[in-house]
Amino acid sequence: MTPTTTETLRSRAGGLKLWLERYPFLPALIIVVALLALNGAFSPNSLSYRSLTGLLSTYMALIMLAIAQTYVVSAGDIDLSAGATLSLVNVAIVVLMEKWGGGAGAVVGAMLSGILLGLICGVINGIVVATLRLQAIVATFATSIFFTGIALYVMPVAGTPAPALFWRTYGGRLLGLPFVFYVLAALALLLFLLSRTRLVTQLLAVGDDQQAAYQTGLPVVLVRVKGYALCGLFSALAAFCLTGDTASGDPLVGGKMTLYSVAAVVLGGSALAGGWTTVVGSLLGALTIGLVNSLVFFMGTPSEWQNFVQGLAILLVLMAGVLAGRRARA
Amino acid sequence: MNVAISFLKKPLVIALLLIVALLYLGESLSPGFASADQILRLLIVASLLGIVAAGQNVVILGGREGIDLSVGGVVSLSAIIAGNVMNGADGGILPAILACLAAGAFFGLLNGLGVTLLRIPPLVMTLGMLGVLQGLLVVIRNGIPSGRAAPGLSAFVTQPLVLGIPGIIWLWIAIGLFMAFMLNRTVFGHRIYAIGSNEHAAYMAGVPVRRMRIGLFMISGMFAAIAGLCLLGYSGSSFANVGEQYMLSSIIAVVFGGTSLAGGKGGYTGTMAGALLLVILQGILTTVNIDESGRQMVFGATLLLLMLFYGRGRAMRA
């Protein structure tokens, strides 16, 4: 399609579609704002600076994991081992920090090793899925079992505490602002820088039409491996946030988060088929899951009904996310 | 020569050869692994997985990224429903079967409606449904005490019925025959392959694509429900999230059976062998004396290795 025809199509389709096309995360943003308002209506206290900071520091790990998932989904792949990678990095850094004495040097050293470990997990997934051409869903499930095995080897039972320096920093304040705000700012900067790279465009091209991307001369296999590596990197960052929040190591902590990360990607308005994704949407999608959970609590739902109402609400927003996303792409 | 190679490349043949090899390996690692009793026990466990995989299989065959992540939730729900309906009495078995099938069909219907009418991708729809089902499990478990299996059901699953073989294995064989007949000899079966390989062409040829797809999800829900009922008979009483393990292992059984996740290609006979293969592999790993971490590492690595024998994607060509 030539630029001119796109222009005319856009002007004919009206303003809303143009907005959706430029900011595909808008529906997710509306859902987040609505959920915030509902939370406030049921419990004004839930909108206080303090509880919002708490919500952010609790769900920062899921935000990171959802963003990790977004990069593989961009290329039309999926990573069911993201949660296992998170667990592995979580136990590895806790053990390393303890072993190296728990000082500032130990924390930095452990985090660097954690990033390296995340990247290695990602590259393994990339090789298995893109180079060996196994089906992504089953192959990354198999690697997730493998990674969980290594995590259990590193720390057989949950409970080893992280050094105080680590979680005090994450949960504390810096220059009068909660530390998690700096994490968010750094994340925003990182996402902005990444969005300028060729890799993100290449991932989307591969996800949109693998054959066409190949015929234009893109190294499709390499691009997909890089996508998985990026996923591993963000899974490691997710592990840091989780460790800061829980202050301990748990070899099975991430298992349940994998499917939530996929849900958050869809909630954000990305297409699971690839080629059309939004990292900001995934961030909002992860927040949506957090806000739904807190809303169900603040509404005074009886405790035994909470999981059911949460499940139902998430199913409904998932449907809304898919429908709105399709409207935007149509 | 070529005939021999193409025969050896058939998924069913690969799976059967691997099964024999694994049984041999198990027997040499721990003598008695491949004894008749042990093989029967493995077959019982495999039949539970195989029944879930039957539903998963038709959904995947139907294409359009068909997959059912909610089967694990339905298995758990059905085990609870069955336990409460029969509550240890043989007279409650028939009502329990009906209640379970109804529940499975209901959640399958919801999945099917979401996938067809709202065109939600199956992965997303069934993932959301899994969350709902898990919530429902908590509600039910809090309201009423978990029930017990009727002695008749337990005997059907664990005790020899005919020719020294437990009823559930006969049931699995019957399901295998039924699936082979349905997929190969009925219009419905041929239409599954039709919508799986080219939905648009099938639609143009007059296949009621939507109704078909809804039907496939209902079949999947009902098979998961049957498996949940049998699982209750196997374990005696239902406990939290018994079905969770079946979610991804049913998909792997289907893949090991040579059915492509892209849909339209494959069958159930291979899936049966795939389920058995998976169960034997797990059996060997529990027999061998290594700790949990080593077991998981070996299991994950072996799954990857086995996948290499099956349908790898095609290389990109210009």
How far off is chain B from A49, nearest CA to CA, in Å?
A: 30
Most A CBs within 10 A among B77, B111, B120, hence the mutation to make, goes to B120
ipTM: 0.84
Within an 8 Å CB–CB cutoff, is residue B204 touching chain A?
no
Q: Which of residues 160-179 of B touch A (CB under 8 A)?
A: none
Say whether pLDDT at B305 is over 50. Answer: yes
CB contact under 8 A, B316 and A314: no
Across the interface, of A137, A147, A272, the residue whose CB is closest to B124 is A272
Say whether pLDDT at A10 is over 50. Answer: no
Whether the CB-CB separation of A16 and A23 falls below 8 Å is answered with no
Domains and CATH numbers, chain B: 10-23+32-307 (1.10.3470.10)
Give the helix/strand (H/E) hosting B239: none
Q: Give the residue-averaged pLDDT of A31-55.
A: 84
Across the interface, of A139, A148, A307, the residue whose CB is closest to B304 is A139
CB contact under 8 A, A273 and B316: no
Rounded Cα gap, residues B304 and B290, in angstroms: 20
CB contact under 8 A, A304 and B143: yes
Structure tokens at B280: 């034997």
Cβ-based neighbours of B31, under 8 Å, separated by 6 or more:
none
Q: Which of residues 272-311 of B touch A (CB under 8 A)?
A: 291-301, 303-304, 307-308, 311
Across the interface, of B69, B141, B297, the residue whose CB is closest to A149 is B297
DSSP A178: E
Torsion of CA B22, B23, B26, B28, to 10 degrees: -110
How far off is chain B from A95, nearest CA to CA, in Å?
A: 16
CB contact under 8 A, B316 and A210: yes
CA distances to A91, A126, A161, A169, A203 from A248, in Å: 8, 29, 4, 14, 35
Q: Give the residue-averaged pLDDT of B80-88.
A: 82
Whether the CB-CB separation of A71 and A234 falls below 8 Å is answered with yes
Alpha-carbon torsion B286, B291, B292, B295, what sign? Answer: negative
CB pairs under 8 A between A and B: 156
Most B CBs within 10 A among A77, A128, A135, hence the mutation to make, goes to A135
Across the interface, of B120, B130, B255, the residue whose CB is closest to A319 is B120
- The pLDDT value recorded for residue B4 is 66
Residue in the structure block whose two tokens are 């990026």: A230
Q: pLDDT for A67-99, tens place per residue?
A: 999 999 999 899 999 999 999 999 999 999 888
Whether the CB-CB separation of A86 and A108 falls below 8 Å is answered with no
Q: How many CB atoms lie within 10 A of CB A326?
A: 15
Across the interface, of B136, B307, B314, the residue whose CB is closest to A138 is B307
Whether the CB-CB separation of A29 and A22 falls below 8 Å is answered with no
Q: Give the residue-averaged pLDDT of B173-200.
A: 88
Q: pLDDT for B212-267, tens place per residue?
A: 999 999 999 999 999 998 888 888 776 667 778 888 889 988 988 888 888 778 88
CA distances to A41, A319, B163, B179 from B272, in Å: 54, 34, 21, 11
Whether the CB-CB separation of B113 and B224 falls below 8 Å is answered with no
Rounded Cα gap, residues B22 and A27, in angstroms: 52
Across the interface, of A132, A272, A322, the residue whose CB is closest to B312 is A132
How far off is chain A from B76, nearest CA to CA, in Å?
A: 15
Whether the CB-CB separation of B161 and B167 falls below 8 Å is answered with yes
Residue in the structure block whose two tokens are 């303890």: A98
Rounded Cα gap, residues B287 and B3, in angstroms: 38
Q: What is the average pLDDT value for chain A, to the nearest integer?
A: 85
Rounded Cα gap, residues A85 and A16, in angstroms: 39
Q: pLDDT for B195-215, tens place per residue?
A: 888 888 888 888 888 889 999
Higher pLDDT, residue A151 or B88:
A151
CB contact under 8 A, A319 and B128: yes
Higher pLDDT, residue A210 or B56:
B56
CB contact under 8 A, A312 and B292: no
Chain mean position to CA A70: 7
Q: What is the average pLDDT value for chain B, to the nearest integer?
A: 84
Q: Which of residues 16-45 of B touch A (CB under 8 A)?
A: none
Say whether pLDDT at A4 is over 50. Answer: no
Q: Which of residues 52-111 of B touch A (CB under 8 A)?
A: 65, 67, 69
CB contact under 8 A, A326 and B134: no
Higher pLDDT, residue A84 or A293:
A84
Q: Give the residue-averaged pLDDT of A249-269.
A: 88
If you compute the radius of gyration of chain A from its CA atoms, what whole number of angstroms results? 20
- The pLDDT value recorded for residue B18 is 84
Say whether pLDDT at B85 is over 50. Answer: yes
CB contact under 8 A, B124 and A132: no
CB contact under 8 A, A314 and B300: no
CB contact under 8 A, B296 and A323: no
> Per-residue confidence at B146, pLDDT binned at 50, 70, 90?
low
Residue count (chain A): 330
Q: pLDDT for A212-243, tens place per residue?
A: 888 888 888 999 999 999 999 999 999 999 99
- The pLDDT value recorded for residue A1 is 35
Rounded Cα gap, residues B64 and B210, in angstroms: 12
* Percent of chain B with pLDDT strictly greater than 70: 93
Burial per residue of A35-59, b for 16 or more beta-carbon CB atoms within 10 angstroms, e otherwise: bbebbeebbeebeeeeeebbbbbbb
- The pLDDT value recorded for residue A85 is 95
Whether the CB-CB separation of A262 and A277 falls below 8 Å is answered with no
Q: Which of A143, A26, A34 minimizes the C-alpha distance to A78?
A: A143
| Torsion region of A174: left, alpha or beta (phi above 0 gives left; psi -120 to 50 gives alpha) | beta
Most B CBs within 10 A among A91, A138, A154, A329, hence the mutation to make, goes to A138
Residue in the structure block whose two tokens are 């130990």: A106
Across the interface, of B114, B294, B304, the residue whose CB is closest to A143 is B304
Q: How many CA atoms lie within 13 A of A252 on its CB side?
A: 6
- The pLDDT value recorded for residue A166 is 80
Q: Which residues in chain B are contacts of A327 at CB distance < 8 A? A: none
Q: Tell me how far apart the terminal alpha carbons of chain B are, to the nearest angstrom.
A: 31
* Percent of chain B with pLDDT strictly greater than 90: 19
How far off is chain A from B180, nearest CA to CA, in Å?
A: 25
Cβ-based neighbours of A263, under 8 Å, separated by 6 or more:
A285, A289, A314, A318, B124, B127, B128, B131
Q: Give DSSP secondary structure letters for chain B.
A: -HHHHHHHTSHHHHHHHHHHHHHHHHHHHSTTTTSHHHHHHHHHHHHHHHHHHHHHHHHHHT-SS---TTHHHHHHHHHHHHHHHHTT-GGGHHHHHHHHHHHHHHHHHHHHHHHHTS---HHHHHHHHHHHHHHHHHHHHHHS---B--HHHHHHHHSEEETTEEHHHHHHHHHHHHHHHHHHHSHHHHHHHHHHH-HHHHHHTT--HHHHHHHHHHHHHHHHHHHHHHHHHHHSB--TTTTTTHHHHHHHHHHHTT--TTSSS--HHHHHHHHHHHHHHHHHHHHS---HHHHHHHHHHHHHHHHTTS-PPPPP--
| Amino acid, single-letter form, for residue A115 | I
Say whether pLDDT at B56 is over 90. Answer: yes
Backbone angles phi, psi at B166, to 5 degrees: -60, 155
Cβ-based neighbours of B125, under 8 Å, separated by 6 or more:
A318, A319, B111, B114, B115
Q: Which of residues 114-143 of B touch A (CB under 8 A)?
A: 114, 118-121, 123-125, 127-136, 138-139, 141-143
Q: Helix B209-235 and helix B93-116: axis angle, to 10°?
A: 140
Q: Tell me how far apart the terminal alpha carbons of chain A are, to the nearest angstrom.
A: 15
CB contact under 8 A, A134 and B297: no
Query: Taking the domains of chain A in order of start, what are their residue ranges?
Result: 58-255
Across the interface, of B296, B315, B318, the residue whose CB is closest to A152 is B296
Whether the CB-CB separation of B22 and B273 falls below 8 Å is answered with no
Say whether pLDDT at A161 is over 50. Answer: yes
> Per-residue confidence at A104, pLDDT binned at 50, 70, 90?
confident
CB contact under 8 A, A304 and B118: no
